[in-house]
């Protein structure tokens, strides 16, 4: 037996979300049907608003309602450092920490030849332009993930930026606090040894 078309379409829509398979999509579709009409309307409005009202900051590439974004407009932030991240979620993670007070630059991904993503597909040219026009920037902190693609992107950025005389640093990688060495993978252990600090 097939589902009525409105339910089938709703299931198909939910399956377009990352990590949502057919069973989860079906559960979500039936949960949506059981919601109050006002809640469904608000949910639909939130989806449309997020798609219509948000765009990327013309300076850093972060997601924002206003251009430039709130962080780029904040003159009290450290204007000498730029933390380069893969996507807007990473900016929120760093901001939640409340320890970093510099600027950001969002790449909108990483280099991935297997997926056909090259330098021209990322927000790299605007970063280079930003570094050329803003003499206050003295350090670029590369905070891409510790994946092969993230590492390749970090190396690529370093080779582009260093000749300009700007300091390029990388976030430390290695053992997380509270983890056991015996359960760490080889790459994590290698990064932990490589990034060791003096006591």
User: For 17-39, what is each residue's pLDDT tens digit?
Assistant: 999 999 999 999 999 999 999 99
The string of pLDDT tens digits covering residues 84-113 is: 999 999 999 999 988 899 999 999 999 998
In a domain, 166, yes or no: yes
Pairwise CA distance, residues 10 & 7, whole Å:
5
In a domain, 15, yes or no: no
The string of pLDDT tens digits covering residues 124-136 is: 999 999 999 999 9
**Mean of pLDDT values over 171-184:** 75
Across all residues in the chain, what is the average pLDDT?
92
In a domain, 53, yes or no: no
Q: For 110, how many CA atoms within 13 A lie in the half-sphere containing its CB? A: 20
More confident residue, 23 or 178: 23
At residue 197, the pLDDT reads: 61
For residue 137, which phi and psi values (nearest 5 degrees)? -75, 120
In a domain, 61, yes or no: no
Q: Report the share of the chain in percent with pLDDT over 90.
A: 79
CATH label of the domain that carries residue 110: 3.40.1360.10
Overall domain count for the chain = 1
In a domain, 3, yes or no: no
Q: Which pTM does this prediction carry?
A: 0.83
For 116, the domain range is: 77-170
The string of pLDDT tens digits covering residues 1-11 is: 789 999 999 99
In a domain, 37, yes or no: no
Pairwise CA distance, residues 161 & 121, whole Å:
18
Burial readout 139-174 (b: 16 or more C-beta within 10 A, e: otherwise): ebbbbbbeeebbbebbebbeebbeeeeeebebbebb
Task: State yes or no: pLDDT of 186 exceeds 90.
Answer: no
Contact 14, 20 (CB under 8 A): yes
* The two structure tokens encoding residue 109: 């991904």
Q: How many residues does the chain have?
A: 199
In a domain, 124, yes or no: yes
In a domain, 8, yes or no: no
């Amino acid at each position: 037996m097939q589902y009525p078309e409105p339910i089938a379409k709703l299931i198909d829509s939910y399956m377009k979300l990352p990590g949502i398979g057919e069973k989860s999509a079906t559960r979500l579709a039936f949960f949506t049907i059981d919601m109050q009409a006002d809640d469904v309307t608000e949910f639909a409005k939130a989806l449309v608003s997020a798609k219509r009202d948000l765009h990327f900051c013309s300076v850093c590439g972060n997601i924002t309602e206003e251009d430039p974004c709130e962080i780029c407009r904040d003159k009290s932030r450290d204007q000498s450092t730029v933390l380069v991240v893969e996507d807007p979620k990473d900016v929120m993670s760093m901001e939640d920490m409340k320890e970093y007070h510099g600027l950001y630059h969002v790449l909108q991904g990483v280099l991935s030849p297997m997926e056909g993503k090259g330098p021209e597909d990322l927000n790299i040219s605007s970063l280079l332009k930003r570094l050329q026009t803003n003499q206050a920037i003295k350090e670029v902190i590369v905070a891409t993930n510790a994946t092969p693609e993230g590492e390749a992107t970090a190396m690529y950025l370093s080779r582009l930026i260093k000749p300009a005389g700007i300091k390029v640093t990388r976030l430390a990688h290695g053992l997380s606090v509270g983890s056991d060495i015996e359960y760490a993978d080889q790459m994590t252990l290698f990064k932990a040894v490589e990034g060791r600090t003096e006591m």
